[in-house]
Structure 1
Amino acid sequence: MWRWRGNPLCRRTDRIQGWIALGLLVLVPCLAAVTATTARDTVRDHYRAVAEHQARSRYFTPAVLVHDAPRHPEPGSPEARHTRYPVTVRYTDPLGHERTARTEVEPGLRGGSTTGLWVDADGSPARPPMPAAEIRSRALGWALLAFAAVTVAGIAVYDGCCRILLRRNSAEWDEAWARTGPRWSRFP
């Protein structure tokens, strides 16, 4: 608030800079929140549509392991529960053709065991449809990026305005010195 107090050294550009800072301080968070919300909703709707399309066009089919899956070095450990190993499996595609592919399965499964495999309409292995948690995280990520982009843009606008005002201040100081300097430069 020091820019608005009465001060004989305060120039008009200092007051303008203060008003710009205040305006951006109010405007940028509001715009950033609106932009982040809009980005989140748009991305969420897009990925929901993608997930629905994937759910309609992909099929979960049983697959039989061709050979044994490797055993985990530490069976029963927490890491073993989350580890998957790629193995060859045999399955029947939606068109009725027998096919083979590689997929990741739990460690230690025996050859001939049945597991599940997601395939697309052509019968090629595919990723499972996008889960709701992934949709949420992607939407949140884009919302955070939008918020950050608006904030950085606000900072850039303030910096640009300050540079313009500083250039104007320097020009005014040069003019004032050009008028005053000769009087100070004379020697007695």
Structure 2
Amino acid sequence: MRSIVGLWRWRRNPLCRSSDRHEALASLCAALLILFGAPLVGLTGGVLAHEEMLGAAREQRSERHPARATVQQLVVPRPGLDADPDDADGDVARHRVVAYWTGRDGAVHTGVADAGRPLRPGERFRIWTDERGRITGPPLSEATASSQALLAGLVSAAVAAALVETVRRLTVRQLLRRRYAEWDAEWDRIGPDWGRTGSSN
């Protein structure tokens, strides 16, 4: 940003080098791209991700079906000696039960399921199954799809801004190298005569 201000201040200054103008122009382009381009990339990425997520949610809703399972017996966890009783995995283990349910094919299935809460044998709870009656996770909700799409859009915008800033820094570094090379060449030309009387004659 200082390069942009400097370009405006030095626009008619004879001491302003071409590398200064190029550096300011690179900073100006980077600022415009970050200000306008990154949000556009984030919006596009978010919209595309949202459409993809909604498609996945519709597909999962067509393939996954709710069912009522009945607790047959509890699964008693056997934690190790170093297990943390406050661990979240321990809570999940305490809620696991052996249950049976009827699939969409009419067959009775039995398996281990996560009840989500403490239950007793004979109690019923909701599960999700696939076409073959196997336990699966619930389908993706529209709210979850929207939140994930929003996150994807934010990440896309951040990545675009970071990429623009990286290109700007590389460009400025290259301009600095060229500037130092020009200084060295100029010093090699006038350095031996520096301070001598009448050296300009």
Q: Which interval holds the TM-score relative to the shorter structure?
A: 0.7 to 0.9
What amino acid is the match of 1:124? R
Identity, in percent, stands at 29
Partner Cα separation in structure 1 for residue 117 and residue 154 of structure 2: 38
The alignment partner of 1:102 has SS state of strand
Contact residue 40 and residue 143 of structure 1 kept, 8 A: yes
Residues 69 and 106 in structure 1, CA contact (< 8 A), matched pair in contact too = no
Give, in whole Å, the separation in 2 of the partners of 1:8 and 1:182. 25
Return the letter of the residue paired with 2:131.
Answer: A
Q: Is the counterpart of residue 169 in structure 1 residue 179 in structure 2? A: yes
Q: Does residue 1:48 correspond to 2:54, yes or no?
A: yes
* 1:148 paired residue among 140, 150, 158: 158
Which of 97, 100, 121 does residue 107 from structure 2 map onto?
97
1:38 to 29, 44, 63: 44
SS of the residue 2:194 aligns to: helix
Give the aligned residue type for 1:132: E
Equivalent position amino acid for 2:35 in 1: P
The one-character-per-residue Cα deviations of 1:37-96 (angstroms, maximum 9, x if unpaired) are: 1111111111111111111111111110002588xxxxxxxxxxxx65111110111112
Which of 138, 141, 158 aligns to 1:131? It is 141
TM-score calculated relative to the size of structure 2: 0.80
Gaps of 5+ in 2: 77-90
Length-normalised TM-score, structure 1: 0.85
Count, aligned residues: 175
Shift in Å, 1:9: 3.6
In 2: Cα distance, 1:68 partner to 1:101 partner: 12
- Contact kept, 8 Å, 2:74 with 2:98, in 1: the verdict is no
